[in-house]
Amino acid sequence: MSRTGTEPGRRARAEQVEQTRTAILVTAERLFAEHGVFSVSHRQISEAAGQGNNAAVGYHFGGRDDLVRAVVRRHAGPMEEIRRRLSLRYAGSTNVRDWVTCEVRSFTEHLAELGDQSWYARFAAQVMTEPSLRELAAEELRDVPMLNAIAASLHACLELPPPVLRERYDMAHTLIVHICAQHERSATPDWERVAAGLIDAIEGIYRAPCTGTHFS
């Protein structure tokens, strides 16, 4: 058979592989969100994803950590595009609220784009509460350009010691994820209202006075 004759078969195979990977990722995200990352086996994911081969998850993604990384990576790209658009809107701003808006809306607008049936916030909340998974996700996102650029722009607006900045940044992102996870359980979450409340609260966190006693 000629080389050109095999191309349709190769494309069909590549499409099938991509469909299988997507089905596994979507299913893993939902099961992790509903039951916890360490409570779900590869076998359960394979079966729920409609895969006859129980080794499908391992074949396509490797171990649990690799699968968690893949779920995080799947959402990182769309969220980075939202950050890029928002950062252009607020370029050069020295207003804390503008950069808090970028932090919050990159998450809430992504959830809105996913539609009413989403599990990512609840998945992220599961990852955030487990130290080893939280570090794994942090490593995956460590070099994401717009995420880092927005954080730098926000921190430049604040006159806080670096340890306080790190603590409040952690507080802010914990609040974003867990509040969104709560609302994601609703049949029709109002992400505009959620974003407005989070922006108000997180701006307050960053602007709160610092006694410095626990950082001396």
Query: Do residue 124 and residue 151 come from a single domain?
Result: yes
Measured between alpha carbons, how far is 129 from 131 in angstroms, rounded to an integer?
Answer: 6
Are the CB atoms for 29 and 123 separated by under 8 Å? yes
216 in any annotated domain: no
Torsion of CA 147, 99, 167, 34, to 10 degrees: -60
Please give the chain's pLDDT, 216 residues, in tens.
Answer: 445 557 777 777 777 878 889 999 999 999 999 999 999 999 999 999 888 777 888 888 989 999 999 999 999 999 999 999 999 999 999 999 999 999 999 999 999 999 878 999 999 999 999 999 999 999 999 999 999 999 999 999 998 999 999 999 999 999 999 999 999 998 899 999 999 999 999 999 999 998 866 555
- Provide, for the chain, the percentages of residues in helix, strand and coil under a 3-state DSSP scheme, each rounded to the nearest 5: 80, 0, 20
Query: Do residue 19 and residue 44 come from a single domain?
Result: yes
**How many whole angstroms from its chain centre is CA 132?**
16
What lies within 8 Å, CB to CB, of 163 at 6+ separation is 215
Q: What is the pLDDT of residue 185?
A: 92
Cα distances from 134 to residues 102, 114, 142, 204, in angstroms, run 22, 23, 12, 25
Tokens 């650029």, located at residue: 149
215 in any annotated domain: no
Domain CATH for 50: 1.10.10
Strands, E assignment, 116-186: none
Query: Do residue 163 and residue 122 come from a single domain?
Result: yes
Q: How many domains does the chain have?
A: 2
Query: Do residue 142 and residue 48 come from a single domain?
Result: no
Query: Do residue 137 and residue 34 come from a single domain?
Result: no
Query: Do residue 55 and residue 69 come from a single domain?
Result: no
214 in any annotated domain: no
Query: Do residue 54 and residue 93 come from a single domain?
Result: no
Range of the domain at 31: 1-62
Query: Do residue 45 and residue 125 come from a single domain?
Result: no
Q: Which two tokens stand for residue 106?
A: 């990159």
Measured between alpha carbons, how far is 125 from 173 in angstroms, rounded to an integer?
Answer: 10
